[in-house]
């Protein structure tokens, strides 16, 4: 059972650790992916998607200026052309680092080369226009420039297409990352849910359900106690009726015994009958005590007095079974008790201890101080202890230890501990025990310490 609980606790700790690790991993992974996505987006200058458009606009502008120069032959217009063409050249160089894919970079490289061609053609055309003078130029003279510019437009088109593909690729990648993140979050939440349900199940099974069982158990225990108590009352009635004839039989037997020679078979028989009568008397007395506990007659006495008297009373008898009854010395302390009743409890505990040892062992009596929760809360107490070196109490017996009429002995009534617990309770105290199977048991009578 203990192994089961430990195993479950370890399993629970492992599951919690595993869940924690999984969630941590998922969080770190999603953070990494989000950071990657952010970095990718910030890398991209969205203006760069307009490079192709801007280039084509500037080129169209240049062509128009050249066209104007062809009709006007004005050196100012030519200068305008040169200025604009320089600007465009610089602008092409500036765009290079902004491009992402190789296709875009290749297209811009080709534009760069073709642009040099275009400029060379433009300069040739300007020289020719200058030498021809106005209005010598024909449309055919513009054909090389038109061809060079058309080639640049085509390359601009290629760059535009490469841009479009690059953008699509990036969006597809972002989409994929977002889908992954979504699944990661959903997966983590799913795992958390499953874990929560499992944990709730475990808590219910291990903590709530057993409580319910315990309630049911204690309910049935109470019912059983009630039944036993009424049975005890009935038995006590019978016991009372038995006690009187028993006393008469004992008296008659005592008279008869005197007529027989000690050692004769008749004398031996009377001894046997006497032993059995004593046993009957004990049972009858136990029943009566159980059914009608008497009110304690309190007196304040030194704690070790009852222990000493118990030792005097039982030591010789126990020595026959080679059981030593030892009284440990202790500091003086006082208790307010009914000495006869507490001694009755002690005798019972010592007798149980001796039964557990059977022969060869030690029973130790001691008194010690402590603080314990009693009916009136935490209290200074004196504990009268009976420690034996017997066989201990197994868990099966422990469950029924204080049940009235529960006994493991052939000649037991099973009332000793019930009566003892009742008496100690009437003193405002409690009965406690610790046991170690095969090593022994310590019963303690916990009593409030007497105020002087
Ligand atoms: P009885 O002595 O008539 O059996 P008790 O109520 O005094 O009735 O004890 C009930 C049972 O508790 C005993 O039969 C015995 O099995 C167990 N028991 C009590 N004291 C001890 C002890 N010190 N060591 C081992 N078992 C004990």
Looking from the CA of residue 412, the nearest atom of ligand 1 is 3
Q: Atom 12, ligand 1: which residue's CA is nearest?
A: 401
Closest CA to 209 of 196, 220, 200, 197: 200
Rounded CA gap, 387 and 266, in Å?
42
Ligand 1 centroid, distance to 440 Cα (angstroms): 12
Set out the domains of the chain in order of their start, with CATH numbers: 3-204 (1.20.120.1730), 297-448 (3.30.565.10)
Q: Are the C-beta atoms of residues 390 and 427 closer than 8 Å to each other? A: no
Tell me whether strands 361-374 and 323-327 are parallel, antiparallel or unpaired: parallel
Q: What is the pLDDT of residues 122-149, one digit of tens each?
A: 999 888 888 877 666 677 888 898 899 9
* Ligand 1, CB cutoff 6 Å, lining residues: 348, 352-353, 356, 388, 390, 393, 397, 401, 406-409, 412-418, 441
Give one DSSP letter per residue of 13-71, joined into a string.
Answer: HHHHHHHHHHHHHHHHHHHHHHHHHHHHHHHS-GGGGGHHHHHHHHHHHHHHHHHHHHH
Residue with tokens 């099974």: 205
User: What pLDDT, on a 0 to 100 scale, did the predictor assign at position 260?
Assistant: 85
Give one DSSP letter per residue of 77-122, joined into a string.
Answer: HHHHHHHHHHHHHHHHHHHGGG--SHHHHHHHHHHHHHHHHHHHHH
| Cβ neighbours, 10 Å, residue 136 | 11
Ligand 1 centroid, distance to 42 Cα (angstroms): 83
Closest CA to 220 of 19, 403, 448, 7: 403
Pocket test for ligand 1, best of 417, 443, 444 (most atoms within 8 A of CB): 417
Mean pLDDT of the chain: 84
Pocket test for ligand 1, best of 225, 284, 352 (most atoms within 8 A of CB): 352
Please say if the pLDDT value at position 446 is more than 90. yes
User: What pLDDT, on a 0 to 100 scale, did the predictor assign at position 1?
Assistant: 41
Tell me whether strands 334-337 and 361-374 are parallel, antiparallel or unpaired: unpaired
343 or 290, greater pLDDT: 343
Distance of CA 287 to the CA centre of its chain: 49
- For residue 395, give both structure tokens: 């868990």
Please say if the pLDDT value at position 416 is more than 50. yes
Please say if the pLDDT value at position 4 is more than 60. no
Ligand 1 centroid, distance to 321 Cα (angstroms): 18
Ligand 1 centroid, distance to 397 Cα (angstroms): 9
Using alpha carbons only, what angle is made at residue 263 by residues 260 and 264, rounded to the nearest 5 degrees?
A: 50
Ligand 1 centroid, distance to 416 Cα (angstroms): 8
| Phi-psi map region of 434: left, alpha, beta (phi>0 left; psi -120 to 50 alpha) | beta
Mean pLDDT: which of 40-44, 275-279, 329-333, 366-370 is highest? 366-370
418 or 387, greater pLDDT: 387
Ligand 1 centroid, distance to 47 Cα (angstroms): 94
Give the dihedral sign, CA 303/304/308/311. positive
Give one DSSP letter per residue of 411-441, joined into a string.
Answer: T--S-HHHHHHHHHHHTT-EEEEEEETTTEE
Q: Are the C-beta atoms of residues 351 and 323 closer than 8 Å to each other? A: no
Ligand 1 centroid, distance to 114 Cα (angstroms): 111
Whole-prediction pTM: 0.51
Phi (first) and psi of residue 251, to 5 degrees: -65, -45
Looking from the CA of residue 418, the nearest atom of ligand 1 is 6
206, containing H or E segment: none
Please say if the pLDDT value at position 83 is more than 90. yes
Rounded CA gap, 323 and 316, in Å?
9
User: What pLDDT, on a 0 to 100 scale, did the predictor assign at position 214?
Assistant: 45
User: What pLDDT, on a 0 to 100 scale, did the predictor assign at position 206?
Assistant: 64
Please say if the pLDDT value at position 368 is more than 90. yes
- Cβ neighbours of residue 142 closer than 8 Å, sequence gap 6 or more: 66, 67, 70, 125
Q: Are the C-beta atoms of residues 426 and 296 closer than 8 Å to each other? A: yes
User: What pLDDT, on a 0 to 100 scale, did the predictor assign at position 312?
Assistant: 95
39 or 117, greater pLDDT: 117
Please say if the pLDDT value at position 393 is more than 80. yes
Least confident of 66-75, 222-231, 343-352: 222-231
| Cβ neighbours, 10 Å, residue 402 | 16
Give the dihedral sign, CA 241/244/247/253. negative
> Mapping DSSP to helix (H, G, I), strand (E, B) and coil, where does residue 338 land?
coil
Closest CA to 55 of 94, 2, 102, 10: 94
User: What pLDDT, on a 0 to 100 scale, did the predictor assign at position 344?
Assistant: 92
pLDDT band for 213, please (50, 70, 90 cuts). Answer: very low
User: What pLDDT, on a 0 to 100 scale, did the predictor assign at position 218?
Assistant: 47
Q: What is the pLDDT of residues 222-246, one digit of tens each?
A: 565 666 667 666 776 777 778 778 8
Closest CA to 260 of 277, 272, 249: 272
Mean pLDDT: which of 287-301, 359-373, 414-428 is highest? 359-373
| Cβ neighbours, 10 Å, residue 319 | 11
In this prediction, what percent of the chain has a pLDDT beyond 70? 88
Closest CA to 115 of 89, 141, 145, 78: 89
Q: What is the pLDDT of residues 285-337, one digit of tens each?
A: 877 777 777 889 999 999 999 999 999 999 999 999 999 999 999 899 999 99
User: What pLDDT, on a 0 to 100 scale, did the predictor assign at position 335?
Assistant: 95
Q: What is the pLDDT of residues 142-200, one digit of tens each?
A: 889 889 999 988 988 888 888 788 878 878 887 787 787 778 778 878 888 887 888 78
pLDDT band for 388, please (50, 70, 90 cuts). Answer: very high
Please say if the pLDDT value at position 3 is more than 50. no
What is the gyration radius of the CA atoms in the chain, in angstroms? 54
Q: Atom 26, ligand 1: which residue's CA is nearest?
A: 393
């Amino acid at each position: 059972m203990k192994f089961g609980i430990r195993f479950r606790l370890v399993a629970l700790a492992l599951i919690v650790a595993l869940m924690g690790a999984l969630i941590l991993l998922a969080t770190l992974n999603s953070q990494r992916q989000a950071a990657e996505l952010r970095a990718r987006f910030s890398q991209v200058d969205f203006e760069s998607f307009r490079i192709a458009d801007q280039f084509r606009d500037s080129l169209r502008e240049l062509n128009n200026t050249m066209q104007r120069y062809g009709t006007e032959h004005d050196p100012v217009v030519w200068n305008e052309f040169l200025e604009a063409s320089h600007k465009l050249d610089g602008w092409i160089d500036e765009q290079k680092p902004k491009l992402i894919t190789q296709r875009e970079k290749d297209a811009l490289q080709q534009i760069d080369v073709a642009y040099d061609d275009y400029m060379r053609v433009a300069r040739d055309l300007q020289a020719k226009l200058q030498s021809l003078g106005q209005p010598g130029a024909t449309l055919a003279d513009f054909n090389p420039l038109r061809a060079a510019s058309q080639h640049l437009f085509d390359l601009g088109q290629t760059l535009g297409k490469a841009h479009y593909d690059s953008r699509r690729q990036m969006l597809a990648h972002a989409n994929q990352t977002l889908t992954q993140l979504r699944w990661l979050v959903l997966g983590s939440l799913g795992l958390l849910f499953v874990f929560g349900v499992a944990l709730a199940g475990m808590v219910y099974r291990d903590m709530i359900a057993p409580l319910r069982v315990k309630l049911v158990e204690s309910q049935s225990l109470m019912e059983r106690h009630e039944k036993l108590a009424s049975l005890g009352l009935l038995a006590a009635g019978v016991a009372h009726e038995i006690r009187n004839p028993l006393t008469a039989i004992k008296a008659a037997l005592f008279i008869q015994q005197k007529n027989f020679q000690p050692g004769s078979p008749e004398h031996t028989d009377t001894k046997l009958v006497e032993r059995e009568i004593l046993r009957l008397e004990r049972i009858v007395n136990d029943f009566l005590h159980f059914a009608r506990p008497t009110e304690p007659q309190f007196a304040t006495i030194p704690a070790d007095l009852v222990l000493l008297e118990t030792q005097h009373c039982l030591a010789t008898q126990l020595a026959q079974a080679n059981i030593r009854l030892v009284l440990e010395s202790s500091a003086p302390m006082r208790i307010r008790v009914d000495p006869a009743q507490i001694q009755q409890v002690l005798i019972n505990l010592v007798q149980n201890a001796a039964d557990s040892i059977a022969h060869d062992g030690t029973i130790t009596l001691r008194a010690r101080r402590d603080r314990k929760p009693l009916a009136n809360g935490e209290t200074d107490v004196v504990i009268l202890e009976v420690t034996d070196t017997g066989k201990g109490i197994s868990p099966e017996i422990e469950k029924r230890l204080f049940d009235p009429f529960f006994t493991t002995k052939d000649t037991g009534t099973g009332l000793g501990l019930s009566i003892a617990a009742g008496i100690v309770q009437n003193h405002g105290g409690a009965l406690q025990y610790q046991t170690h199977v095969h090593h022994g048991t310590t019963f303690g009578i916990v009593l409030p310490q007497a105020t002087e």
